[in-house]
Structure 1
């Protein structure tokens, strides 16, 4: 039963048309007590079949530590990229791993499978302690006391956009790397990686709209006087237009205008005669002086 995530990714390309399906993965450094090679070769199974197969593996309590990981809204297509979950791939291909069980397309997987597995381990092994935090050091003390330990981790739903899904999946895988490194130190362990189908269709990566570069469109101030509209204009002359000469078409010296000019010349001639008569008057400078001599006194008497 050497099926790995590489086989899951290879099968994902052929099974991309399935809906309401998600991958399932189990690996352990404990050997299997039953031959499940024929079961694991089937890459399209129901959730009930996968749950029964997993229960058959954990019912003998082969491990001391069980780490159950739940990744909601996961599709097998998300695992098709070699760089999607590199740390989990390395943990799966570790030479210490003796048992592997993986299914690319599981129909109807739900988050309740985590609690079903916890309950099964508790019933079969008895006195199992459950922790929801890997960083909690209490589980190490429980292992030293010889007790069985179950640690559960549930990630948030993956977003709908493809590029955002890859980023979140990579962040979750980085967290798993720290946890798995701590878990596998000297213990017999079993890791279960389960998922639920995407709640909405996966959308292609969004491409940010390219902002056009600003290009100035200032007019060249040189030779503006040389710019002319040289396009040929259509002749809009009507067929009934009067084409006679200008002085034949229009009357420039009307009777009213002639009479106004004649009256104006007469008035101007009268004004010029009056101005000439006033300007021809000759009066001596002493005509307006007051007489002060004896003759003036006699006149006054």
Structure 2
């Protein structure tokens, strides 16, 4: 198995330099096109906008590094927010509803893990199916309507601000990212995740329970997604079955741009963060420039194609 020092080198320094340069160019471009872009207020808006997707990107990064993928995490976040809102409106306390939302995410993650690990269904197929299933059940449960909630004790997670007026949601995102960056790079579990993604067969040979780790990753990734969904709920005060619909594309594009290998074994949360910043700047800039929605879709699709193309030049193992 690869050492920590070897693993820290898995993301090419040139990739990081390229990401920083791309982010810098994007900021310069939009700054010259809109007087409202390069302002403190707008950068705070960007930080708030990327927070939820950024937390989801942390989950996607860990799964991809392990050689798996979960396309349903945005749907899990939406489902968790709806479950929490329903519990709150049914008379449960805020804490009970919060825990209920987290449990909902864990159960949905366990469903994905069971399908992928036990039934050996390819992750992209399995989670594409559960994405549609979770979304559909959300519409059935709510009748397609939003679930409105009153004030909640943890509203500050989505609406509050902290030091330097930074959104609390962004601070939460950075805290989640730093914690799991440390897990990936300085723990035995992180070593297992990278090793399993590189080649699971030697891991099985030395006694590592590959299936258990992969199943656990699906569960914990869904719990993180559920937490993101609860922050989203606290931001708007409503739970919607269509919440974060289409966010999967931005998240995967950001993760792949950040240098995570689609075939597993390589990547860094630092790269994911930079990739998410690039996506956030582009999304914000196109809105400020009043770019039509259909052209924004074209840009996002192009970014995803570029991200996948870059990934195709990186070596890595497929799902095994």
What TM-score do you get using the length of structure 1 for normalisation?
A: 0.23
Structure in which a larger fraction of residues adopt strand: 1
Higher-RCO chain (CA-CA 8 Å, sequence separation at least 6):
2
Structure with more helix by fraction: 2
Asked which structure has the greater CA Rg, the reply is 1
TM score, norm. by length of structure 2: 0.22
